[in-house]
Structure 1
Amino acid sequence: MHAAEGAARPLLFTGIATQDVAAPFRAQDALELTILMPCLNEAKTVAACVEAALGFLERAGIRGEVVVADNGSTDGSRELARSAGARVIAVPDRGYGAALKGGIEAARGAYVIMGDADCSYDFSNLDAFVEQLRGGARLVMGNRFRGGIAEGAMPLLHRYLGNPVLSFIGRLFFRTDIGDFHCGIRGFHQESVAALGLVSNGMEFASEMVAKAALAGISIAEVPTTLKPDGRGRPPHLRTWRDGWRHLKFLLLFCPRWLFLYPGVMLVLAGVVGMGVLQRPWSSDAHDLRIHTMLYMAGAMVLGVQLVQLAVLTKWLGVLSGIVPQPPWLRRAQPALSLEAGLLLGAGLFAIGLIWSVGLVQQWGRSGFGPLAPTEGMRAAIPAVTLMIIGMQAVAGTLFAGAIELAWRTGRQKRHA
């Protein structure tokens, strides 16, 4: 549990006083809403954000709290936030995601609404978020493009390229209709998000939350929200290209079907169809062209099988590590993905290719091991060699997966010893 700091302050909107932050949490102290703000050197704006949030709670008559998850501020932000009425949580691990994880863990509210402590979001107007949460939505995203982006609030590159492209990829990969995948203000049921097992410490935490929520099948809603220029008077923590790449990398690795599976399946199908077409009787004029094409088809099959194998391994590793929930298809396919099944399949394909190759050598022997016709010989040799390569790929991949599982289980036993 993260260390917490704070001072007792009357909560006029609830008629109770805050508990000493060191006191244990009691069921009767349960709150409806925690307004959570990550903070790193936000001295110019954090107090105004806290006051706006407290004002909303009072106006709406909501029993709640404001929590500032401080990530190592050195400009007096903690003291300013505490004086304004927030409960301050010190989060030693650096990073946007780390601060939010610490705040979510410490939240006392059944609902949490998170937003940056830089005055870019309006904490005095959270009614739409609360309405959706009370209505049953487990995650409520803000949409800045629907609510309005003030001039100078978002760089043009982010507004017209970065956010639209990454949001489109997120919708495509995770089959959700969220229009603003990276909006910094969002609300959720504390227990629902805690159960997702979020692990990212950086800016990609925002993508991980939506991706895991979509994969878990929890209900997601979206409400318009406004974005104003931040009031910090200094460059933002967000770095366009570095953090954009981290978001994209996370989306790709989190959804291996687009990174590996679909390209792999397309390559395998292209290779199989191409091989089949090229096995038809050849005319003498097409020999050289067809033999070179067949070689490329073989390469497509080998690469495609490798990508499909990587897709399965990546998904499986994500499930093992707890990064992603186990999809139903992986649960159903587990008997076919056992070590023994993988070794048997790989050995069988290799054996077919080897027997085919031995037959070709015997055929050559019956002709007295004389000169070979390159095109006719390669027409049969290429598929045989392809089967041997794919078979060995399957065997190697299966053994690699077995080694990883053994290492993971050993490490888990040591951690629980």
Structure 2
Amino acid sequence: MIELSVVMPCLNEAETLAICIEKAKTSISGMAIEAEIIVSDNGSTDGSQDIAKLHGAKVVDVIEKGYGNALKGGIEASRGTYIIMADADDSYDFSDLEPFVSKLREGYDLVMGNRFKGGVEKNAMPFLHKYLGNPVLSFLGRLFFGIKIRDFHCGLRGFSKKAYNMMDLRTTGMEFASEMVVKSKLKGLKITEVPTTLSVDGRSRPPHLNTWSDGWRHLRFLLLYSPNWLFLLPGIVLMLFGTLGFLFIGAKPTDINGITLDVHSLLYASAFILIGFQFVVFYGLTKIFAVENGLLPKSSRYANLFKFLNLERGLLLGLLILIIGISLSVNAYLEWQDVAFGNLNTTETLRIVIPAVMSLQLGVQIILFSFFFSILGLKNKD
């Protein structure tokens, strides 16, 4: 029975592939473990496939392009109980896989390498990656998802085949690495990290990684998988600021340190409320889309979403706000009528018209979105 599969994604790695395979074989021999080495080739044209076979590795040809596709092809072809993956550029230490296997045997589902604990060789990591990209993205990962690891993007990591199947990974590019960590947390899997080293890339050609575009793909992924931070919290903050604006300047102008806030500020306050509401609605839509398409796991909170946001409550709330808007509009009309539809005191009129227009818009939006959420809820109930 094969206990360990070592998977190396490969795209024209002829210069370093043999070194990585031999290092992995040395580590496997030292652990006296039944293992296999899989080279998941993504269309190499430099003879990498022949090199892999010559050194005793199993070659899996993956037609679909992309880092994630290459890894998925190799992982799904593996037969080991545990899997360790890393790039075949000789920057990761395949000769010391024992700490990963030990943690997996202890029952951890995902074991991440930590290059900052193990040591980063001089010039092994670009300046922007070391001091900006990795620290920022790792911080956001901890903040958004509560994942207590320090090196979110280490490419050397181990996991059980069972855990991999539970992750249900969907992405095909560089963000595959982020999805693995996020999904592990969302699925309630046990995560830990062990020190590992990072050496200078052994290839003479530039790496496949593109600093800005791949960094953006990782950041975009983190944001899309955390609708609370992307939509819900900004929406609540905007609506809170807008509501405070109405409380302070809705009835009369307010002076703050010599600055007068009047109807012009009231207009922005109404915009904050409307924009904030849109953010909250998009949170709900994103959550539903992500869960129903298998991108996020279902939770009790998700089920309660449809219990709380039902059609009847939405219609009632929307109707009440709509009535407020209509009442204020009628009031503004009557004041206009009192002056025989002539000139009005603009400031005093806007103090009525702005809340009226905002209430009309908000009421209609709540009613429409209540119907839409109700339609989505039909599928959820089925």
Matched, 1:214 2:188: no
* Equivalent position amino acid for 2:226 in 1: C
Q: Which residue of 1 aligns with 2:194?
A: 223
**Are the aligned partners of 2:310 and 2:373 in contact in 1 as well (CA < 8 Å)?**
no
For 1:283 and 1:196, locate their aligned partners in 2 and report how far apart those are by CA, in whole Å: 54
**Distance in 2 of aligned mates of 1:348 and 1:72:** 62
How much has 1:189 moved relative to structure 2?
A: 1.3
Contact 1:37 1:116 in 2 (8 A): yes
Q: Deviations over 1:315-357 (max 9, x none)?
A: 2211111111124322222122345554554344323322332
Equivalent residue, structure 1, for 2:56? 85
Counterparts of 1:128 and 1:320, CA distance in 2? 38
Question: Which residue is 1:191 aligned to?
Answer: 162
What does residue 357 of structure 1 align with? Answer: 329
What is the DSSP-based 3-state SS (H/G/I as helix, E as strand, rest coil) of the residue aligned with 1:195? Answer: helix
1:301 corresponds to 2:273? yes
1:393 pairs, out of 349, 359, 365, with: 365
Task: Please give the alpha-carbon distance, in whole angstroms, between the structure 2 residues aligned to 1:192 and 1:97.
Answer: 17
Greater mean deviation of Cα atoms: 391-400 or 228-237: 391-400
- For residue 262 of structure 2, what is the aligned residue in structure 1? 290
Which of the numbers 104, 114, 118 marks the counterpart of 1:147? Answer: 118
Deviations 1:56-102 (A, max 9, x none): 22210112211111111111111211221111111111000111111
Q: Partner residue of 2:285?
A: 313
The farther-off stretch of 229-238 and 358-367 is: 358-367
* Contact 1:68-1:86 within 8 A present in 2 as well: yes
Query: How far did 1:402 drift?
Result: 6.5
- Structure 2 match to 1:14: none
Return the match for 1:372 from 313, 325, 344.
344
Query: For residues 178 and 187 of structure 1, what CA distance do their matches in structure 2 show?
Result: 14
Between the aligned residues of both structures, percent identity stands at 50
CA RMSD of aligned residues (A): 2.4
CA–CA separation in structure 1 for the residues paired with 2:370 and 2:18: 56
Establish whether residue 35 from structure 1 lines up as the match of residue 6 from structure 2: yes
Q: How does 1:400-415 map to 2 (within 5 A)?
A: none
Residue aligned with 2:38, SS: strand
Q: Match of 2:81, SS?
A: strand
Is the deviation greater in 161-170 or in 341-350? Answer: 341-350
Change over 3 Å in CA distance of 1:376–1:199 after alignment to 2 = same
Equivalent residue, structure 1, for 2:176: 205
| 1:398, distance to aligned residue in structure 2 (A) | 4.5
Q: Hey, what does 1:335 align to over in structure 2?
A: 307
Distance 1:58 1:48 in 2: 15
1:161 aligned to 132, 146, 151, which one?
132
Match of 2:296, SS?
coil
1:274 Cα offset (Å): 1.2
1:275 aligns with 2:246: yes
Q: Deviations over 1:160-217 (max 9, x none)?
A: 1111111111111111121111100001111112211111111111111111112222
Q: Provide, for residues 385-406 of structure 1, a one-character-per-residue CA deviation record: whole Å limited to 9, x for no partner.
A: 1111122333444455577789
Q: How many residue pairs are counted as aligned between the two chains?
A: 378
Q: Which amino acid aligns with 1:298?
A: S
Deviation at 1:139, TM superposition (A): 0.6
Matched, 1:54 2:25: yes
| Contact 1:336/1:342 (<8 A) preserved | no
The equivalent residue for 1:262 is 233
Distance 1:383 1:256 in 2: 29
Structure 2 unpaired stretches of 5+: none
1:57-68 alignment, distance < 5 Å: 57-68=28-39
Q: Is the 8 A contact 1:287 1:375 kept in 2?
A: no
Gaps of 5+ in 1: 1-29
